[in-house]
Amino acid sequence: QQPVQSPQAVILREGEDAVINCSSSKALYSVHWYRQKHGEAPVFLMILLKGGEQKGHEKISASFNEKKQQSSLYLTASQLSYSGTYFCGTQTGAGSYQLTFGKGTKLSVIP
Amino acid sequence: EADIYQTPRYLVIGTGKKITLECSQTMGHDKMYWYQQDPGMELHLIHYSYGVNSTEKGDLSSESTVSRIRTEHFPLTLESARPSHTSQYLCASSELRESYNEQFFGPGTRLTVL
């Protein structure tokens, strides 16, 4: 079951904050976040595991609410380089290594 | 930095041709994946592998086939290309572990079938 991302698109001015949400109808083991710039491959940002562990870049923060089966990615003091499409990928079990990706959130940061 | 390579980067080919998209990684990762992605759309998993001689079909039905004879190599083959196969194909790899199994993506192959 594909996770649902919101919003579909957002435009920010440099320095503004944004939140991107990812929700699933299934219980989740982990949530991964990736950013893809136009014409490039997706790049790993963060992984959040059931139980509270997480690993990711210093300037990226995210949360994972296991009960609500939701994750949110927080982008603060946005920079032009933050522009791109953000995908969440969900993993439903520890032994299920495959990710199911959402449709993506297109973020545009303007000067 | 991830070391995962895909060739060719761009391919334009006629209907009915057989093609093989190459993917190699030098990180010693056991798990490898193939995704199909149309422009501006989400990634769809079409094949994955847990290791040598292991291959599985993904969520999206695909007419392609894959093989995993060596850990570092995971080629994808289309026996007879059709215009509906036009898309971007992304290869990825990850370590075989339950936690922190982030995926590293190759640059992709953009395929156009005329």
Q: What is the pLDDT of residue B6?
A: 97
Q: Dump pLDDT digits (tens) for B18-29.
A: 999 999 999 999
Q: What is the pLDDT of residue A43?
A: 93
Q: Which amino acid is at A34?
A: Y
Residues B78 and B98: their CA atoms lie apart, in Å, by: 32
Q: Is A6 left (phi over 0), alpha (psi -120 to 50) or beta?
A: beta
> Residue-wise over B16-34: b if at least 16 C-beta within 10 A, else e?
eeebebebbbeeebbbbbb
Q: What is the pLDDT of residue A60?
A: 81
Q: Dump pLDDT digits (tens) for B33-50.
A: 999 999 889 999 999 999
Q: What is the pLDDT of residue B1?
A: 56
Chain B residues touching A94 at Cβ < 8 A: 98
Q: What is the pLDDT of residue B106?
A: 96
How many other CB atoms sit within 10 Å of the CB of residue B45? 21
* Residue B32 sits at the chain A interface (C-beta within 8 Å): no
* Residue B31 sits at the chain A interface (C-beta within 8 Å): yes
In chain B, the residue whose alpha carbon lies closest to the alpha carbon of A87 is B42
Contact B90 A42 (CB under 8 A): yes
* Residue B100 sits at the chain A interface (C-beta within 8 Å): yes
Q: What is the pLDDT of residue A93?
A: 80
Its domain, for residue A46, covers: 4-110
Contact B27, B93 (CB under 8 A): yes
Mean pLDDT in chain A? 91
Q: Which of B46, B7, B53, B8 is CA-nearest to residue B30?
A: B53
Q: Dump pLDDT digits (tens) for A35-85.
A: 999 989 999 999 998 877 777 776 789 999 988 899 999 999 999 999 999
Domain B4-113 is classified in which CATH homologous superfamily?
Immunoglobulins (2.60.40.10)
- Nearest C-alpha of chain B: how many angstroms from A44? 7
Helices (H), B1-114: none
Q: Dump pLDDT digits (tens) for B54-67.
A: 999 988 878 899 99
Phi/psi for B104 (5° steps) reads -110, 130
Q: What is the pLDDT of residue B98?
A: 66
Q: What is the pLDDT of residue B10?
A: 96
Nearest to A98 among B48, B106, B107 (CB): B48
Question: What total of structural domains would you count in chain A?
Answer: 1
Contact B96 A97 (CB under 8 A): yes
Q: Dump pLDDT digits (tens) for B81-112.
A: 999 999 999 999 998 776 678 899 999 999 99
Structure tokens at B87: 């898309």
Nearest to B101 among A53, A85, A97 (CB): A97
Contact A73, A81 (CB under 8 A): no
Whether A95 shows a pLDDT value over 80: the answer reads no
